[in-house]
Structure 1
Amino acid sequence: MVLLMMIRVYLRLLGAHLRAVLEYRYDALLTIGATVLGQGAGLVFVGAVFAQVPELAGWTRWEVVCVYAMVLLAEGVGSLFFEGTWQLAGMINGGDLDYLLVRPYPVTLQVTGSALGVNGLGNVLLGGVLLVGAVGQVDVDWQPVTIGWAVVLLVSALATKVAINLATNSVAFWLLSPSSSLAAGVHVLGDLARYPITVYGVGLRVLLTLLPVTFVGYFPAAALLGKGVSATVGLLTPVVAVLCLIIARQIFKAGLRRYESAGS
């Protein structure tokens, strides 16, 4: 009952933000359209690469599109439902977090639900279309068990992305800056994980895996597609997702304990 109540309140928070966004419909539509066009530029790059080569580090065109789509979906869900994590630094710096501390609702959920990124809808739509198109082209025998495993991998990838956003933005408790440069930097590095990481040097591969943005798209896709050693590592995606959520929660709680307000 408590969990259902928390979910219902969270959805009402997001609903309020959605109604506010839709007050300016054309602005929202332009934002969604711009997001789709921007992400489409990455697809043009993928198309240009595969116009020259049949495979990229052992990955076919549609296998790379599958990775790309999973990352887009994760980013879209993170923006659409958990955009508030990107507002945390401003809340800390301006003292707005004080209001959240006195309300009878988990502070973490208040923070994550404090904003709605309408641009995330563009990522979700494009990522969904690409993923649906890719699954029919890759060499996978779609049995019920395989479909169930694919759903587990996708949900785990989404959870990992949300956890990374929360953890990196929670560093604002220590940096005391109105914006989180660390979170932005990790997000940019995450864009590199839209492609097979085997095309990069060893150092960059290790960095992307430790962050661990590779578990948002690359390793889950490798596990589903049976890509050798990467597939074996990809089997750990659900475990990594749970660990990331626990670590992100602990970092947020540690930061909350040292929060001293911004004064009046």
Structure 2
Amino acid sequence: MDDRFRPPGTLGLYRRLLGAHLRAVLEYRADALLTVAATVLGQLAGLVFVVTIFAQTPVLMGWTRWEVLCVCGMVMLAEGIGSLFCEGAWQLSGMVNMGALDYFLIRPYPVVLQVTGSAVGVNGLGNVLIGVSLLGLSAGRIEVAWTPLTLLWAGVLLVSGVLVKTALSLGTNALAFWLLSPSNSVAVSVHMLGDLARYPLTVYGPGMRSLLTVIPVAFVGYFPAAALLDKGGSATIGAFSPLVAVAATGVALALFSRGLRRYESAGN
């Protein structure tokens, strides 16, 4: 069969779906640019807080300024990629309440991919921009011997953080099947909790450390960075980041699948 007429695979369809939504968003270029600019400014404001702290002390609970900025970069990159490729998960509550999932159920394409690919968060571009910049700047200022094996390990840890962040977004938003509310306060709360994981967990008490580990927002940036920087006990836990990413993804997909089975539409 001619490749021009060959039906695209699952990933190909997902790419086309996201591309269509991205083109729709970019039709209003000024609005898109303002959104990206606002995201960049918001993230920079948070970084000023970190720089201000380290202006008073060179080391915070065993972490230097550039090591903390490396954690921030990982978190921002994960948030940005999640916004660009899975923003539709945040619209799931509205879809459940309005019965919009009915359209997805009759299409011969995985419902979960239709949901996650139903929107593109252009603000993710700002997060990716800041995240990549921070990681690039901190790479030469942290005590890591960059060998090919280390680069591979860093890539695995970054991908793990992205998967954990995406899984958290999908899993918490999938609770809309049970909460039956037009907004999902659980998903928003977990997302806001993730802001605390931009800093070393050692600055928090035992209860907060346990919460950020169990949820597990600390595996988006803190534990992967600890594993890369060989930060003692945290590095040992961080070495399990790929396994946590696989487990979190499995739980999120299972929640979505189970919730979809109890979906009853919104009626006429």
Q: TM-score, normalised to structure 2's length?
A: 0.97
Unaligned runs of 5+ in 2: 1-5
Give the CA deviation at 1:216. Answer: 0.1
Give the aligned partner of residue 74 of structure 1.
78
Give the CA deviation at 1:116. Answer: 0.3
Which whole-Å CA distance do the structure 2 matches of 1:55 and 1:254 have between them?
46
TM-superposition CA deviations, 1:181-225 (whole Å, max 9, x none) = 100000000000000011001100000100000000000000000
Query: Is 2:101 the partner of 1:97?
Result: yes
Give the aligned partner of residue 54 of structure 1.
58
Give the aligned partner of residue 160 of structure 1.
164
Give the aligned partner of residue 254 of structure 2.
250
Give the aligned partner of residue 192 of structure 1.
196
Aligned partner (choices 148, 153, 164) of residue 149 of structure 1: 153
Which whole-Å CA distance do the structure 2 matches of 1:56 and 1:227 have between them?
13
- Between the two proteins, the alignment pairs up a number of residues equal to 263
Q: Which runs of 4+ in 1 moved over 4 A?
A: none
Give the aligned partner of residue 132 of structure 2.
128
Which whole-Å CA distance do the structure 1 matches of 2:188 and 2:27 have between them?
28
One-letter amino acid of the structure 1 residue matched with residue 248 of structure 2: C
One-letter amino acid of the structure 2 residue matched with residue 87 of structure 1: Q
Aligned partner (choices 119, 137, 141) of residue 141 of structure 2: 137
| Two-structure CA RMSD over aligned residues (Å) | 1.2
- Percent of pairs identical after alignment? 66
Which whole-Å CA distance do the structure 2 matches of 1:143 and 1:19 have between them?
39
Give the aligned partner of residue 5 of structure 1.
9
Unaligned runs of 5+ in 1: none
Give the CA deviation at 1:179. Answer: 1.1
Aligned partner (choices 24, 31, 40) of residue 27 of structure 1: 31
Give the aligned partner of residue 172 of structure 1.
176
Give the aligned partner of residue 216 of structure 2.
212
Query: Is 2:242 the partner of 1:238?
Result: yes
Which whole-Å CA distance do the structure 2 matches of 1:189 and 1:208 have between them?
8
Which whole-Å CA distance do the structure 2 matches of 1:74 and 1:122 have between them?
12
Give the CA deviation at 1:99. Answer: 0.3
Which whole-Å CA distance do the structure 2 matches of 1:263 and 1:99 have between them?
13
Give the aligned partner of residue 224 of structure 1.
228
Which whole-Å CA distance do the structure 2 matches of 1:179 and 1:100 have between them?
20
Which whole-Å CA distance do the structure 1 matches of 2:95 and 2:183 have between them?
10
One-letter amino acid of the structure 1 residue matched with residue 116 of structure 2: T
